[in-house]
Amino acid sequence: MIAILPSAADPCNLPFPLKNPKEPAMSDSGVKFQPRESIEQVEEGSDLAPKFDDRGLITVVTTDARSGELLMQGYMNAEALARTIRTGEAHYFSRSRQVLWHKGATSGFVQRVRELLVDDDQDCIWLRVDVEGGASCHVGYRSCFYRRVPTGREFGATEVDGRVDLVWTDTEKVFDPEDVYGDAPNPTIL
Ligand SMILES: [Zn+2]
């Protein structure tokens, strides 16, 4: 989904990398992240001290809170994470457009966060969400993972000179992207 918020687009300004690594960093939406001081603090403590990469991003995986289905993988910058915490609705950072994006603001398929988890070293976020209308993929499917790659014996039986033939696991779109997005450019970059 490609709803775009007017926002400072540079992920590196917001607020990572830290100007002063010893000070907590306050996001624009008033959520504070702690500096990463020790392994014990990061792994066993109650501080939220997320590790953003050198582009200022952290990986996010999003599952359906009820079915457990993997819906999508994306990224957040510090402000997207802060807004998700503040509002209880999923915000991501679009790498193709370099903007913060409130998921579902255009399509109406907002992801309401039931649970936001962080992993042991705090470099990955897991969102468990309810999706109004039931779609998370801009292609129109419920999940971004609507095709599988045959493996092992099945691959051997279907390959032609090693070429992989994807198999659809979901054939029904929840919505028609043209109806929802019209002429907006596709976020998939070749
Ligand atoms: Zn998708």
- Domains, the chain, ordered by start: 11-140 (3.10.20.810), 146-176 (no CATH)
Count Cβ atoms within 10 A of the Cβ of residue 120 and give its class: 0-12 exposed, 13-18 middle, 19 or more buried.
exposed
Pairing assessment for the beta strands 25-26 and 32-33 based on DSSP bridges = antiparallel
Q: How far is the CA of 48 from the centre of ligand 1 (A)?
A: 28
Q: How far is the CA of 143 from the centre of ligand 1 (A)?
A: 6
Q: How far is the CA of 146 from the centre of ligand 1 (A)?
A: 9
Rounded to two decimals, what is the model's pTM? Answer: 0.86
Q: How far is the CA of 38 from the centre of ligand 1 (A)?
A: 36
Over its length of 190 residues, how does the chain's per-residue pLDDT go in tens digits?
444 444 444 444 445 555 556 777 777 888 999 999 999 999 999 999 999 998 999 999 999 999 999 999 999 999 999 999 999 999 999 998 889 999 988 888 999 999 999 999 999 999 999 997 788 899 999 999 999 999 999 999 999 999 999 999 999 999 998 888 888 888 888 8
